Homo-oligomer: A and B are copies of this chain.
Amino acid sequence: MSYQRAGGRAADALRPVRLTRHYTRHAEGSVLVEFGDTKVLCTASVEERVPPHKKGSGEGWVTAEYGMLPRSTHTRSDREAARGKQSGRTQEIQRLIGRSMRTVFDLSALGERTIQLDCDVLQADGGTRTAAITGAYVAACDAVTWLLEQGRITTSPLKDAVAAVSVGIVEGTPLLDLEYVEDSACDTDMNVVMTGRGGFVEVQGTAEGAAFTRAEMDALLALADKGIRELLAAQRAALGL
């Protein structure tokens, strides 16, 4: 018999997804993304400069930073600014978000400017990185719209949409969109990032305990595919597309 999820959620069901645009005022894009009790504030900031490796290239840059508020978690975590460095986990996640976003951008069309995505977790309940990617895409869309409205660019540098979800196997049952208690208990955990056209951007599967089989991976990829289609629809709805 399979694992019973909290609230009677089906194994292949996402948690309620909410994408609230214009959540804060100053950023060119600002989206609160909620996957159930996971809440991440994603802002997109336009900066009229590029990092050194892009200077003079005619191309722009898209990059991301990630952080968790100290008490977004069940027990308080140290504040990274106070400790004086970002953890390996933080760096891994922000690199993942940045790469995922760049996949859907035409950096030439962006011009020599940077879209800086900041993903800050207000409340964590599993899946913060996948929520961050899903929300950051919407914030990036708003920043692109702002650039178009400002006349700084004339065509959108966005080539596709991108969203992400976690999947995993808990007590033998493949589950979509793990919440914290499931994530802690799972044997295998996979984060999948896909584009609007259904291509894979990132697949990161990790055996937490025992190794996983090819059949298990296939089941997880199928679940992820289903979940990401729904997330892409939620993004389109939020953007009024």
**A interface with B by C-beta (< 8 Å):** 24-27, 30, 37, 39, 41, 43, 45, 47, 65, 67, 69-76, 79-82, 84-86, 88-92, 94-95, 99, 103, 116, 118, 120, 122-125, 160, 190, 194-195, 197-207, 209-214, 217, 221
Contacts and interface: CB of A to CB of B under 8 A. Distances in A.
B27 A71 contact: yes
Contact of A103 (B72, B124, B207): B207
Given A70-B45, A81-B67, A82-B65, A99 B206 contact: yes
A200 B221 contact: no
A103 B217 CA distance: 17
A125 B203 CA distance: 24
Contacts of A47: 76
A225 to B, nearest CB: 8
Contact of A120 (B69, B74, B212, B213): B69
Contacts of A190: 203
Contact of A71 (B43, B211, B221): B43
A92 B94 CA distance: 11
Nearest to A213: B199
A123 B190 CA distance: 32
A72 B123 contact: no
25 contacts: A24-B39, A24-B122, A24-B123, A26-B72, A43-B69, A45-B75, A65-B70, A65-B79, A65-B82, A69-B118, A70-B116, A79-B118, A80-B81, A81-B85, A81-B86, A84-B85, A88-B91, A88-B94, A88-B95, A89-B95, A92-B92, A92-B95, A122-B122, A201-B206, A214-B221
Among A26, A41, A94, A160: residue with most chain B CB under 10 A: A26
Contacts of A73: 26
Contact of A122 (B41, B65, B71): B41
